[in-house]
Chain A
Amino acid sequence: MSGLGTGEVGVVLVSHSAQVAESVAALARGLAGSGPAAPVAAAGGTADGGMGTSAELILSAARAVDRGAGVALLADLGSAVLTVKALLADDELPAGSRLLDAPFVEGAVAAVVAASAGAALDAVEAVAVEAYEYRKV
């Protein structure tokens, strides 16, 4: 990626549910390996604790994990995906923010493992997208 620094890629997990976002963040950190995990932030539910999506929570999560190397966002469905896309379209997220076309849980684990190992944003995206290829039967 041009114009981005050499720090770790940050990961933001956007779910309709605060518990899902937090739990998947904890799972991904737990599987990230023995070293320090890349910055991961959950943006789940609405600002008042309900089920849905909050643009403010997404923006603050992205700013919190931004180390200058890009921010990878994963979203579960519907308004979570659409809100991230709308924020990207208006350049409201930190420079180098990108929505990953990846399954939420598997993609989050892949992204955090790769980011924690020092992978750049393109590589983090590639492994998260690849998580769709893992067949279970």
Chain B
Amino acid sequence: MRDTQFFLRWMAAAAAAVEREADRLTELDSPIGDADHGSNMLRGFTAVGGALDAEAPAAPGAVLQLAGRTLISTVGGASGPLYGTLLRRTGKELGEAAEVSDEELRKALYAGVGAVAQLGGAAPGDKTMLDALVPGVARLATSYRAAADAAENGALATVPMLARKGRASYLGERSIGHQDPGATSSALLFGALADVADVADVADGAAEAGEAA
């Protein structure tokens, strides 16, 4: 089971990943976007950290809903409502339970990704966040690491795609040959989840070994 601390650590790991990769996200956003994805995401996830510290939500669903609301109100670009909707919808699906199973989280994230698709009106292959999120959630049933790898591969696979949504779509064929910044940051979110799960599972294993002894 995954408790509130697990979700707080996930958001902290996501913020650290965004901070580490902010320059690269902005660089990817320069040829096909408006060169602000890294700074927007950094502003958003920094604010998420502050909000989680200030309000100390007491359940996994509450952590993600607060994170989502904070992203919507602080990012300033399209990634705000899109990531905000992803986390808020996922959090709503988790409800008020103090702990959630991996299966419950998988289903909730699946609903969250569906909400992103509905909000943005995009489909896989349009060179958007969904090209990482959709393969990512599809592999969650295998493991968090498999999901992170699938999301990363999905982001890499956006390079030859023609953008069909957002500002990049105005560039037509000139959008081909660039990795989508939103898919790249989506892969970071899954990577952070896998890292946090790895650490938690090692700790659980150690605790069980301790109990057995």
Contacts and interface: CB of A to CB of B under 8 A. Distances in A.
Interface in B69-119: 69, 72-73, 76-82, 84-85, 88, 115, 119
Contacts of B80: 53, 55, 79, 82-83, 86
A62 B40 CA distance: 24
B39 to A, nearest CB: 10
How many of chain A's residues touch chain B, expressed as a range? 10 to 19
Nearest to B36: A52
Nearest to B89: A89
Given A78-B166, A78-B167, A86 B76 contact: no
Nearest to A79: B78
A53 B76 contact: yes
B120 interface: yes
B72 A85 contact: no
Contacts of B115: 89
Interface string A59-92: 0000000000000000000110011011101100
B167 A86 contact: no
Interface residues of B, number: 21
Nearest to B69: A90
Contacts of A78: 77-78, 166-167
B186 to A, nearest CB: 15
Contacts of B166: 78
A33 B73 CA distance: 36
A92 to B, nearest CB: 9
A55 B69 CA distance: 10
B26 to A, nearest CB: 14
Nearest to B115: A89
Contacts of B88: 90
Contacts of A87: 72
A86 B85 contact: yes
A86 B119 contact: yes
B77 A79 contact: yes
Interface in A5-38: none
25 contacts: A52-B40, A52-B76, A52-B77, A53-B77, A53-B80, A54-B76, A55-B80, A56-B73, A78-B78, A78-B166, A79-B78, A79-B79, A79-B81, A82-B78, A82-B80, A82-B82, A82-B119, A82-B120, A85-B81, A86-B84, A86-B85, A89-B85, A89-B115, A90-B69, A90-B72
In the A-B complex, the 4 residue pairs with the smallest Cβ-Cβ separation, listed nearest first, are A86-B81, A52-B76, A82-B81, A79-B78
Interface of B: 34, 36, 40, 69, 72-73, 76-82, 84-85, 88, 115, 119-120, 166-167
Given A54-B76, A78-B77, A85-B119, 9 more contacts: A52-B77, A53-B77, A55-B72, A56-B73, A78-B166, A78-B167, A86-B80, A89-B119, A90-B88
